[in-house]
Chain A
Amino acid sequence: MLETDIYTVNVGPIHPSTHGGLHVEAIMDGEIIQDVVVHLGYVHRSVEKIAEGKTYQQFVPYTARLDYLATNLPVLGYCQAVEKLLGIEVPERAEYIRVIMAELSRIASHQIAISATGIDLGATTGLMYGMRDRERIMNIFEMTGGQRLLSSYIRIGGVAADIPDEFIPAVKSLVQDIPRMMEEYNGLMTGNEIWAARMEGVGILAPETAIQYGVTGPNLRASGIAYDLRKAEPYGIYDRFDFDLPLGKRGDSLDRWQVRIDEIGQSGRIIEQALKAMPEGEIKAKVPKVLKPAAGKEVYHRIESAKGELGYYIVSDGSSKPYRLHVRAPSFINLMVLPVICRGGVFQDIITNIATLDPILGESDR
């Protein structure tokens, strides 16, 4: 009998396919993964501590840096949390604009996930397809917030400015093209034999395991559990829209990938409805210059971000700065499941699993 040894391979923190500073220590027996240890904290910026030194409004741009690929979603979550804390009513029009921006961000984030999965699995052309379509969303963000990546357009009490005239035609044409985009992603990648072989049955996340680990977002829905905060606990005006939850059957990488593509279509439906129903009117509530919530008041608000359940827990001490702010980052919790789904696979599956779990390290390390 040949004597063999177990060895470790460090994937990251500097590695082309770890989506940021993620360090995965793979304990390998030949090509088979024995165990995987996830090391986090390489991009820790102590965002939660910074919040304690900033006023409520000053902290808004910092939240955009949490999930920089879906920039409006973490901002929306924070602003809604502060509004809940202070009891601010947001005008109708602002709510609709927020929904459009949030869903656009979700599409942009999923397109990055599609692109990144493509490049991680060696389909370089897939990367460019996703990036090309995302570019149009970035242009729309630039129209509204003046910035492409981190626009901080959503503010406490509403949005920063009213939408420009060219906004609605641009969004409409984008929404019209979404079915074509999905067809292209499916045609180039999902329908490919090699692609399906690399993803099918790889990294199976059983529904029970997903619930035990607190996995949320597309990863949970790919395991077949219809849980989406937009439906389960509608925040803002999400109860007014009609959309479906794409679900997976097997909970493998292919399902996670497919759920993301299908969610782009559902987001498109929401945007379409929001554009139709958007009223005229104010875009920002009357918010005092200095926000001082009552002392001892605390709030937890959660939204469905592109990566999963994004929660903000804010404790006020009566001053203009939060006493404590905690972020429940979906990427952090979703990543914890990586060792479970990697075990027993081959080395290349680690890359596939990281790509389809779609973590964002800015959020997970905070």
Chain B
Amino acid sequence: MEALFINLAEAFTGWMIRLGLNPAWAESILLLVKWIIVITIITVNIIILIWLERKISAFFQERLGPNRLGPFGIFQTVADAIKLLTKEDIVPSAADKLIFKTAPMFFIVVAVMLYTVIPMGKDMEVINLNIGLLFFISVGSLSTIALLMAGWGSNNKWSLMGAVRSVAQMVSYEIPLAFSLLGVVMITGSLNLQDIVAAQDKWWFIVLQPIAFITYFIAATAELNRGPFDMPEAEQELTGGAYTEYTGMRWALFFLAEYTNLVAVSALMATVFLGGWQGPWLPSWLWIIIKTYAVILVFFWVKWTFPRIRMDHLMSFSWKVLVPVSLGNILLTGAGIYFCRWMGWC
């Protein structure tokens, strides 16, 4: 079971080579197939996730949640997806059409790119990048541009306000986000995510870096635009923020991208702080799925409990609390590493 997917991939390459394909070509085709599989998994996973979030929020709010279509309403998301696909696609006449239309595509592409580096199991990732963590952070921050494009291109006050807020928010939370991961990088001495996972065979980094875990979780919530930091959207205040003018599938793409981001960030948290694919008895790919879902559930829990934070509080919280705390964590980690070496423990 452990090497199930690796064996499948090898069998597929072997089959292509036997058909008379150049090994280099076979590798490229394998990469393409890997991508198609990743995108399929993302989409299917999101259908389940949206259903799960509805059910969980219903549980928190003492409602029933979707319960009509299929067992436990599992097909509700499918029905919603079909509805969104068949909806009229409205582009406002005053909109900057090119930017307006590109924004959702850009957002989803960026979100999917995040999956490139996440180790989905032992020796399982799309590309084993030696600067995986840096790649994740930098690509993750690109989604800000998509929101700004959506807000600017819509030519609507609400959208622009939402976009401006989201840019302000994401830029300020990018810093504690990266800083909180730095402690882990200092301990492992590598930006490769497989190395980071391998370094956690004794202790998970949530034990060694508890402060970093908390600051990363808060910053990631803001980065994902999830409650209580869902400023850019803010249905009750900005009537949907940057997404106000979007309808049908274009809007659904934003929605999809947000969930894609959520899964990617949760998977990264599981990888960096919760020991990644490591775990007893079960195969490694199952462990990462379990851990990712556990993190996602915490995100759901936070979202359905807290009210939305105010914009100025949000900014001051980032600059006055999160940045100093994460900087302090780096200092503490550095001191700890020196102490450890001085004592001859590591």
Contacts and interface: CB of A to CB of B under 8 A. Distances in A.
Contacts of A346: 310-312
Contacts, number: 78
A12 to B, nearest CB: 10
B313 A122 contact: no
A330 to B, nearest CB: 24
Interface string B130-172: 0000000000000000000000000001100100000000000
B306 A123 contact: yes
Nearest to B158: A9
B109 interface: no
Identify whether the interface residues of B are mostly helix, strand, loop, or mixed. Answer: loop
A195 B235 contact: no
A178 interface: no
Question: Which of B61, B62, B161, B311 has most chain A Cβ within 10 Å?
Answer: B61
Contact of B304 (A124, A189, A347): A124
A351 B236 contact: yes
B237 A347 contact: yes
Interface string B279-312: 0000000000000000000000000111111111
Given A31-B311, A348-B311, A122 B228 contact: yes
Interface in B45-84: 57, 60-63
B309 A198 contact: yes
A271 B167 CA distance: 52
B307 A189 contact: yes
Contacts of A4: none
Given A122-B228, A125-B60, A348-B311, A194 B235 contact: no
B236 A198 contact: no
A132 interface: yes
Interface string A226-262: 0000000000000000000000000000000000000
B61 A120 contact: no
Contacts of A347: 161, 237, 311
A17 B57 contact: no
The interface size bin for chain B is 20 to 34
A335 to B, nearest CB: 19
Interface class of chain A by DSSP: helix
A16 B161 CA distance: 16
Contacts of B309: 194, 197-198
Interface string A285-301: 00000000000000000
Nearest to B314: A194
B275 interface: no
Interface of A: 7, 9, 15-17, 31, 118-129, 132, 188-189, 192, 194-195, 197-198, 346-349, 351
16 contacts: A9-B161, A17-B237, A121-B307, A122-B306, A122-B307, A122-B308, A124-B304, A126-B307, A128-B62, A129-B61, A192-B306, A194-B308, A194-B309, A195-B307, A198-B307, A198-B310
